[in-house]
């Protein structure tokens, strides 16, 4: 352990909002002979725990004022943090002005993010939680980490205390690491404040400057392929139930590809009102269904494309019940992972013990899906980032137009709504064929729309008669309609807007197919 140029830790300055673990840490410091200085609420906490502590105001000779806004912004505080112990002029100034050095600074900041996460928070309430003295001390101590140890997280208490108890000081390696964490901490804090004001004050939809902050949650085994390294970073304040904050109840570590598919599966079902299940493979739904019971939706979803469903990812928008778990335990059936709001105890017991693959299946409990996902979608490109509004809103059905001579019947309308809901989650060019609340076949990611149609027809097979078709964008030619006309497809839903709309409508009329124009495209690149 590198200890060179490290002064012995004689004094600590503690000012924390989060008191978790503080009592044992501070008592350990006091027992090691460290003199503790503190402010307001932290000082009272330590006094209540019978830990020796000096009030920082007694040291500075300057009282706290302005409802605590002014506490530590004083030369006797910052001189003690910023002094360079190997600089004669600094040390001379310390003696001349009666400044004592602080070799250890423990600070965590006002809970700004937790405050603004509350519903209907006022600007005054938010501003009251903008810490000034705290970040100033953190940055000062981190800058002077050659001589000062800065602690910003209770998780750091044990390693710091252990080194002090063993050596009376900390290693330069540890202080560098803590300084890095400290600057990350204040950077994320300032980003959260900037985001709060940007969302309320920025002119126009997009801010001129965009700063994002994520925390590394995990280093993954590898990325999309074994030769690629990967890690998972998370937002501090998720807006809704999601995969990265879900509780993993069983199974192996999640992979990069697992996370992508689980995210897509959850996003598909969260927007559907009826009990729904989505079956994901390579980030496209190969099965999806709705029903009155979640177990029936599961069965229908898995039967949409049984071959592709082997080794798939499942998303539920209801609690996984015992009947669903029993179905998943069917011999010969295999899934990689399941994400759902909850798992009933019996279902969890079955999935953890009954299938042959029980030890490896990842089970994720995401919580209630009652909040909308983020309004924004971000995509990285070389040298920059694309930001857009996420495609999460339901299309206004009162703007839909029936453009053909034949009108959809009530049962067809239900399937058209379902086909339209699913098609936005299929990679463009996207086609869905659906019947009885079930995805029969999907055509995804083809360079021509008619190719996607032909793939969906092949997937649907002999079940296609009586189905409806959804298309994420308009048909540039009537060839797709001509392709489905011989298989008994009864209705089509698409945005419209092609210069050949009249020709496509005519093809539907000739084949007795009903068609709806929604007026809105749903490309997913």
The pLDDT of residue 1 is 37
Higher pLDDT among residues 191 and 414, named by residue:
414
Residue from 143, 274, 346, 352 carrying the catalytic annotation:
143
Q: How far apart, in whole angstroms, are the C-alpha atoms of residue 350 and residue 328?
A: 9
Choose the most confident range, by mean pLDDT, from 43-47, 82-86, 115-119, 491-495: 491-495
Q: Comparing C-alpha atoms, which of 361, 335, 345, 165 is closest to residue 250?
A: 361
- Whether 444 shows a pLDDT value over 70: the answer reads yes
pLDDT one-digit tens code per residue, 233-248: 887 767 788 999 999 9
pLDDT one-digit tens code per residue, 173-232: 999 999 999 988 888 878 777 777 776 665 556 777 777 778 888 999 999 999 999 999
pLDDT one-digit tens code per residue, 313-333: 999 999 999 999 999 999 999
Q: How far apart, in whole angstroms, are the C-alpha atoms of residue 508 and residue 502?
A: 10
Handedness of CA 263, 266, 272, 276 (dihedral sign): positive
Tell me if residue 458 is catalytic: no
Q: What percent of the chain has pLDDT over 70?
A: 92
Handedness of CA 222, 225, 227, 228 (dihedral sign): negative
Q: Taking CA 186 as the corner, what is the angle to CA 8 and CA 165, rounded to the nearest 5 degrees?
A: 25
Residue from 85, 146, 245, 282 carrying the catalytic annotation:
282
**Token output for 451:** 């190719």
Q: Comparing C-alpha atoms, which of 449, 458, 462, 459 is closest to residue 488?
A: 462
Q: What is the pLDDT averaged over residues 409-423?
A: 95
pLDDT one-digit tens code per residue, 250-264: 999 999 999 999 999
Q: How far apart, in whole angstroms, are the C-alpha atoms of residue 279 and residue 440?
A: 12
DSSP string, 61-118: T---BTTTTBSS-SHHHHHHHH--TT-HHHHHHHHHTTPPP-SEEEEE---HHHHHTS
Q: How far apart, in whole angstroms, are the C-alpha atoms of residue 74 and residue 43?
A: 18
Higher pLDDT among residues 158 and 190, named by residue:
158
The pLDDT of residue 409 is 93
Task: List helix spans (H) across 97-235.
Answer: 112-116, 123-128, 133-143, 157-167, 172-201
**Token output for 102:** 């602080």
Rg of the chain over Cα atoms, rounded to whole angstroms, equals 30
What domains, with CATH codes, occur in the chain? Answer: 11-200 (3.40.50.1380), 247-365 (3.40.140.20), 398-517 (3.40.140.20)
- How far CA 339 is from CA of 159, 182, 238, in Å, comes to 36, 35, 17
Q: How far apart, in whole angstroms, are the C-alpha atoms of residue 468 and residue 489?
A: 6
Strand, coil or helix: 384 = strand
Non-local (6+) Cβ contacts of 319 within 8 A are: 294, 340, 341, 342, 343, 344, 347
Q: Please, what is the average pLDDT of the chain?
A: 89
Whether this model's pTM surpasses 0.85: no
Strand, coil or helix: 37 = strand
pLDDT one-digit tens code per residue, 7-59: 788 899 998 888 889 999 999 999 999 999 988 788 888 989 889 988 887 77
DSSP string, 438-504: EEEEEE-S-SSHHHHHHHHHHHHGGG-TT-EEEESS--SSTHHHHHHHTTT--EEEE----TTHHHH
Tell me if residue 427 is catalytic: no
pLDDT one-digit tens code per residue, 465-520: 999 999 999 999 999 999 999 999 999 999 999 999 999 999 999 999 999 999 99
pLDDT class of 66 with cuts at 50, 70, 90: low
Quick check: 179 and 142 in contact, CB under 8 A? yes
Q: Which residues pair with 443 in a beta bridge?
A: 431
Quick check: 515 and 492 in contact, CB under 8 A? yes
Give the range among 198-207, 291-300, 417-426, 446-455 with minimum mean pLDDT: 198-207
Look-up of token digits 């300055």 = 13
- Whether 3 shows a pLDDT value over 60: the answer reads no
Q: Which residues pair with 196 in a beta bridge?
A: none
């Amino acid at each position: 352990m590198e200890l060179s140029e490290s002064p012995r830790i004689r004094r600590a300055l503690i000012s924390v909002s989060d008191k978790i673990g503080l009592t044992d840490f501070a008592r350990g410091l006091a027992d090691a002979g460290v003199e503790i200085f503190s402010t307001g609420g932290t000082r009272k906490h330590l006094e209540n725990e019978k830990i020796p502590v000096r009030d920082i105001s007694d040291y500075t000779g300057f009282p706290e004022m302005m409802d605590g806004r002014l506490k530590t912004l004083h030369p006797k505080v910052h001189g003690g943090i910023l002094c360079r112990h190997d600089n004669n002029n600094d040390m001379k100034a310390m003696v001349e002005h009666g400044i004592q050095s602080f070799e250890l600074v423990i600070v965590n900041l006002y809970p700004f993010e937790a405050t603004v996460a509350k519903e209907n928070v006022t600007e005054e309430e938010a501003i009251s939680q903008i810490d000034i003295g705290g970040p100033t001390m953190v940055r000062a101590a981190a800058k002077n980490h050659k001589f000062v140890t800065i602690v910003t997280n209770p998780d750091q208490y044990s390693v710091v205390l252990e080194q002090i108890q063993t050596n009376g000081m900390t290693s330069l390696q540890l202080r560098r690491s803590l300084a890095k964490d400290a600057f990350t901490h204040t950077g994320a804090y300032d980003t959260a404040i900037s985001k709060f004001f940007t969302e309320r004050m920025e002119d126009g939809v997009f801010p001129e400057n965009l700063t994002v902050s994520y925390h590394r949650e995990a280093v993954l085994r590898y990325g999309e392929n074994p030769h690629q390294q990967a890690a998972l970073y998370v937002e501090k304040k998720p807006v809704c139930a999601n995969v990265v904050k879900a509780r993993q109840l069983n199974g192996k570590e999640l992979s990069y590809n697992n996370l992508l598919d689980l995210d897509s599966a959850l996003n598909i079902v969260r927007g559907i009102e009826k009990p729904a299940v989505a079956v994901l493979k390579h980030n496209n739904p190969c099965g999806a269904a709705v029903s009155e019971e979640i177990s029936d939706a599961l069965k229908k979803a898995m039967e949409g494309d049984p071959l592709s469903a082997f080794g798939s990812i499942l998303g539920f928008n209801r609690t996984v019940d015992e009947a669903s778990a029993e179905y998943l335990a069917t011999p010969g059936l295999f899934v990689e992972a399941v994400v759902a709001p909850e798992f009933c105890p019996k279902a969890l017991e079955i999935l953890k013990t009954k299938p042959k693959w029980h030890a490896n299946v990842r089970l994720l409990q995401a919580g209630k899906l009652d909040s909308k996902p983020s309004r924004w979608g971000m995509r990285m490109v070389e040298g920059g980032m694309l930001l857009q509004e996420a495609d999460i809103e339901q299309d206004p059905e009162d703007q839909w137009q029936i453009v053909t001579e034949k009108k959809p019947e009530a049962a067809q309308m239900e399937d058209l709504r379902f086909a339209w809901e699913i098609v936005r989650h299929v990679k463009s060019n996207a086609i869905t064929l659906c019947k009885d609340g079930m995805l029969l076949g999907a055509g995804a990611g083809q360079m021509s729309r008619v190719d996607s149609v032909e793939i969906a027809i092949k997937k649907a097979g002999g079940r296609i008669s009586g189905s409806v078709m959804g298309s994420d964008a308009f048909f540039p030619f009537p060839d797709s309609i001509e392709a489905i006309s011989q298989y008994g497809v009864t209705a089509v839903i698409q945005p419209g807007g092609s210069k050949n709309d009249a020709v496509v409508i005519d093809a539907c009329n000739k084949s007795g197919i009903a068609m709806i124009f929604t007026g809105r495209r749903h490309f997913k690149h």
